[in-house]
Chain A
Amino acid sequence: MSTKIIHAFYTDDDVLLSAVKQVREKRYHIEEVFTPFPVHGLEKAMGIADTRLAINAFLYGIVGLCVATAMMNYIMIEDWPQDIGGKPSFSYLENMPAFVPIMFELTVFFAAHLMVITFYMRSRLWPFKKAENPDVRTTDDHFLMEVDTHGADIDEATKFLYDTGAVEIKLIDKEEH
């Protein structure tokens, strides 16, 4: 079954924001919005849930801290506790100040890199990925709202979107993925 979706183009982020609010009030479903730059408050207007990337980063940081501690405890204290310049390698705690720079750096390293990789995976970004851009102008100066009317009257929907300030409207057959 092929459904129709509507591409509505806007040229101003303020108009776009108010259009998003009106479309949601009308209970049309917004599939996606394409913008050339981050529009402040767009995710709130669209009702998108908050990101949990920060929580991820915190957990990755704890992993990094554990890796650093386990690594240095094994190497410096358990495996071969040499006397290096009189540093007390009898227990981890006794020699801890010397390990703190590495503990800190590995915490930051794990938190930062694993969070970035998580971001790439969750937003499906990688080299040679086919760009999913419906219209080239959306990377320059146009904003595009993709609306799925779910079988509502197309003419009425088109009229409504024009009234929200759209400068161009396209009706598209949704590709079957």
Chain B
Amino acid sequence: MYKVTSKLKIVAFALMIFGAVLTAVGFWQMPGSEEEVKEMLATEAAAHGGGHGAVEDNHSSAVDDHAVSGHATTSDHHSEGHATSHEDEHAEHVYHQLSNKPWAAVYVAAFFFFMIGLGTLAFHAVQKAAQAGWSPVLFRVMEGISSYILPGGIIMFVLLLLSGFHINHLFVWMEEGIDVVGHENYDAIVAGKVGYLNVPFWLFRAGAFLVGWNLYRWNIRKFGLKQDEAKDGDIAWYKKGFKHSAMFLVFFIVTESIMSWDWIMSFDPHWFSTLFGWYVFASMFVSGITTIALITIFLKSKGYLEFVNDSHIHDLAKFMFGVSIFWTYLWFSQFMLIWYSNIPEEVTYFVTRIEDYNILFFGMVAINFLFPLLILMNSDFKRVNWFVVTAGLFIILGHYLDIYVMVMPATVGESWFIGFPEIGAFLFFAGLFILYVFNTISKAPLLAKGDPYLGESKHFHY
């Protein structure tokens, strides 16, 4: 039995408190009104004054030249009037982006850690349904990680509820009057999607999916523990778990796809992509597998998993490597198809990302593809713990940035910055995740001794 050490608890609580403080600072920094944003933009412009001044001088001389032709006065008036209304619009735009910033930061971090739990649950179900002979020694670790979908799911649902009740403006399709013809917010494209994108139905779907996933997770844990207590040769609980896993995988792939449209793709309600569900799935799958590897290596280094050998780590590392490349394949397929055809209504998605998020957008592809590719290609390296941990940390960071680049351009646009709320929310949820996951792992023996494939798994050798 694993016991949560007080050191781990202190680390987790410290992460949560520090993260919460940083997040609170992020909310406190949120501009109170449009006037504040206007002032801020004015000071920013003044700070840049030197450079722009020279350019303006050139312009004014050009205007002087034109003045001779006589229409200078009218054109001046026109441009002045236009400039003030444009400035107002710009300030309103930036104000919305800045007030979204801490909310989006919390949303990204909450979703990222929830997704790790869900990806692990899917991996667990795949291992059960495929009757894998190598992984039963890791089932309790997987059960521990996937337990996070209960608190993580509740937090996600609360965040969705807050958006639904207009506490924040993360989802533009929730704007007042977006489907009312003649309203200033009217948007014909979104109005056409209201049959699917409306708050009650959207919340209902989220609730139904969360209940379904948690039900399976609760059952599979229960079946595993019951199988431990069963008499020798009685594998009724194992069989039940097998059937539930097979059914869950069907449910999962449908609901995961819809979840990715609802929770991520609907940030850009004008845009759609058919392989988006797979893309999000690959991201959660690889993050989940990586977390299994990291926690397994941690527990083994503390001496709790004496039956796990380096072949198990090798297999996990192979999955990290393979699914990282699968993720890259989907990323590229989505990007290249849209880049190639260059249809305006689709391509804006990537135009904003390349223009405003250039380093992050391509940097996270490099992190998620090149690092795992080069670090984990060698068969010997996959058995060396610190190689796997290094690659794992890159993958975790890379997929956080992946989610960040999915959510941020539609919510904060060019006003993005990885500052207090982003780092704070990440640390807060990391602390919560560690606390909850290790607490669950400490609740049951680390060896699922009733599993019929356990013997094979203990002697697994690659």
Contacts and interface: CB of A to CB of B under 8 A. Distances in A.
B335 A58 contact: no
Nearest to B329: A104
A171 interface: no
A86 B344 CA distance: 14
Interface string A81-95: 000001000000000
A98 B341 CA distance: 11
B340 A98 contact: yes
A97 interface: yes
B332 A58 contact: no
Contacts of A98: 336, 340
A80 to B, nearest CB: 21
B336 A58 contact: no
A86 B335 CA distance: 17
A97 B337 CA distance: 9
A58 B332 CA distance: 22
Contacts of A54: 379
B336 A97 contact: yes
A99 B332 CA distance: 12
A97 B379 contact: no
Interface string B319-347: 00000000000001001100110100000
B377 interface: yes
A15 interface: no
B354 to A, nearest CB: 12
A58 B340 contact: no
Contacts of A86: 342
Contacts of A58: 377
Nearest to B341: A85
Interface in A46-83: 54, 58
Contacts of A97: 332, 335-336, 339-340
A98 B335 CA distance: 11
A100 interface: yes
A100 B336 contact: yes
A100 B377 contact: no
Interface in A14-68: 54, 58
A77 B336 CA distance: 19
Main secondary structure of the interface of A (DSSP, over half): helix
A87 to B, nearest CB: 8
A19 B335 CA distance: 58
Contacts of A100: 332, 336
B221 to A, nearest CB: 36
A44 to B, nearest CB: 12
Contacts of B339: 97
B400 to A, nearest CB: 25
A153 to B, nearest CB: 39
A39 B336 CA distance: 46
B14 to A, nearest CB: 43
A168 to B, nearest CB: 33
A97 B379 CA distance: 30
A58 B373 CA distance: 12
Contacts of B377: 58
A54 B339 CA distance: 35
A98 B377 CA distance: 26
Interface string B199-211: 0000000000000
A58 B377 CA distance: 10
A37 B335 CA distance: 46
B316 to A, nearest CB: 20
Contacts of B342: 86
Interface string A139-155: 00000000000000000
Contacts of B335: 97
Nearest to A55: B378
Contacts of B340: 97-98
A100 B336 CA distance: 9
Contacts of B332: 97, 100
B369 to A, nearest CB: 12
A100 to B, nearest CB: 7
A86 B347 CA distance: 15
A15 to B, nearest CB: 21
A97 B340 CA distance: 8
A97 B338 CA distance: 10
Nearest to B339: A97
A101 to B, nearest CB: 8
Interface in B344-399: 377, 379
A159 to B, nearest CB: 35
Nearest to B337: A97
A11 B335 CA distance: 58
A58 B374 CA distance: 11
A17 to B, nearest CB: 15
B462 to A, nearest CB: 12
A98 B337 CA distance: 9
Interface in B287-332: 332
Interface string A119-134: 0000000000000000
Given A54-B379, A58-B377, A97-B332, 9 more contacts: A86-B342, A97-B335, A97-B336, A97-B339, A97-B340, A98-B336, A98-B340, A100-B332, A100-B336
Closest 9 CB pairs of A and B: A97-B336, A97-B339, A98-B340, A100-B332, A97-B340, A100-B336, A97-B335, A58-B377, A86-B342
Interface of A: 54, 58, 86, 97-98, 100
12 contacts: A54-B379, A58-B377, A86-B342, A97-B332, A97-B335, A97-B336, A97-B339, A97-B340, A98-B336, A98-B340, A100-B332, A100-B336
